[in-house]
Homo-oligomer: A and B are copies of this chain.
Amino acid sequence: MDSSDLPRAAAPTRRRVTAAMVAEHAGVSTATVSLVANGKTQGRVSAVNAAKVVAAISELGYIIDSIGSSLSRGVSSTIIMVAPDISNPFFAKVIAGVRSALGSDYQLLLSVTDAGQLPSAADTRRLLGLRPAGLLVDAPDPLFLEELSATGPLVLLDAPGFGPDIPAVNLDVVQGARDLAAHMAANGHTTVAYLDGITETTTFKLRRTAFLEAAAELGMHIPENAVIATTIDVGLAADAFAEAWPAWKAAGITAIACATDTHAYGVLQEARAKGISIPGELAVTGFDDLPYSANSNPGLTSVNLPAELLGRRAAEQLLRLINGEPLETIQLTLDSSLKVRGSTVQA
């Protein structure tokens, strides 16, 4: 009968304040409002008018509508970050770094997926409909990037080996993996295993190959079936280790390197459940040095990676790209460092 029941879910309490309303209130054109609201008054708006608009803006509580603005400009102030695993605390630190560099000019949109899953290029392409000002892609696989075929400012994080012309900030995981192998060799281990991540992320491949190579160079032996892989998940890692351990033990394995600390936690957990002495019977190492690794049982020997710095540097590079500034260095590599704890050395 009437339409008073139409606005159901969300009846707007007050109408949106538009630039036109501000213009009318201040007695100027919307063009002038736009100039003032965007701080482009320099030599284009008289001090008198600028003051009038500023007053009207604060009086009315005007906020530039980013939808209208984006459509007009052709680009939004959104920065999209694509990452395979938000549940990893390491990632939270990366985000913090990104945000600190981004400031408040840009909105950070996180495209997250389920643990260890890479987002599909199709999903991400849909996000491109938001016309992001730039794209940050963490630990991509080569295929994803190719499918994405993004145009516009793009910086990769933790993505080694992607061609020297594509901007990236990397972590020196190769050195970290070598340090791990050297540490094991120095502690007398001769037969070792590797617990890998299941996604074919380049960083995982590098961690694995660098470790295996260095282990071989150092005269350590890696038996058949001593390289296994699971999703980044404590429980699944524990299961995989439980299944592998009898054969490994028989093969004389006394140390296991894990692709991430999370994997290592699974091993520690299962070892405790099974009564395997760490590090006496088995030495365990991780990768990432999560904040919890100082506190696990026992403390976890791990490769510390500068997460916050990674995010910060990547965002800084992206900002330069967005502003059309040249990059001094297309690709950066940040140092890693080995943290030795009780999981490899008796306290």
- Segment from A84-92, A181-189, A202-210 that makes contact with B: A84-92
Minimum Cβ distance to chain B for residue A154 (Å): 8
Contacts of A89 in B (CB 8 A): 87, 89, 92
Confirm or deny: A285 has a beta carbon within 8 angstroms of a beta carbon on chain B.
Answer: no
Are A96 and B92 also in contact (CB < 8 A) when A66-B129, A151-B12, A151-B13 are? no
Are A130 and B67 also in contact (CB < 8 A) when A13-B149, A114-B96, A151-B13 are? yes
Minimum Cβ distance to chain B for residue A301 (Å): 14
Interface size on A, residues (CB 8 A): 65
Confirm or deny: A268 has a beta carbon within 8 angstroms of a beta carbon on chain B.
Answer: yes
Are A107 and B127 also in contact (CB < 8 A) when A9-B153, A87-B93, A299-B297 are? yes
Q: Contact: B153 with A63, CB < 8 Å?
A: no
Q: Contact: B63 with A71, CB < 8 Å?
A: no
Q: Which residues from 207 to 260 on chain A have a C-beta closer than 8 Å to any C-beta of chain B? A: 234
Determine the residue in chain B with the shortest Cβ distance to A85: B92
Minimum Cβ distance to chain B for residue A128 (Å): 7
Binary interface encoding of chain A residues 291-312 relative to chain B, with 1 for a CB under 8 A from any of its CBs, else 0: 1101111110000000000000
Q: Contact: B265 with A292, CB < 8 Å?
A: yes
Q: How far is the CA of A268 from the CA of B297 in the complex (A)?
A: 11
Return the contact of A295 from the options B268, B291, B323 (Cβ within 8 A): B268
Are A125 and B87 also in contact (CB < 8 A) when A110-B109, A296-B297, A297-B297 are? no
Please give 17 more A-B residue pairs, beta carbons under 8 A apart, in addition to A8-B324, A86-B95, A107-B126: A10-B151, A13-B151, A63-B126, A64-B129, A65-B131, A66-B130, A66-B131, A67-B131, A86-B96, A87-B92, A96-B115, A99-B114, A107-B111, A107-B127, A109-B109, A295-B297, A297-B298
**A-to-B contact residues, CB < 8 Å:** 8-14, 63-68, 70-71, 76, 78, 86-89, 92-93, 95-96, 99-100, 104, 107-115, 123, 125-131, 149, 151-153, 234, 265, 268-269, 291-292, 294-299, 321-324
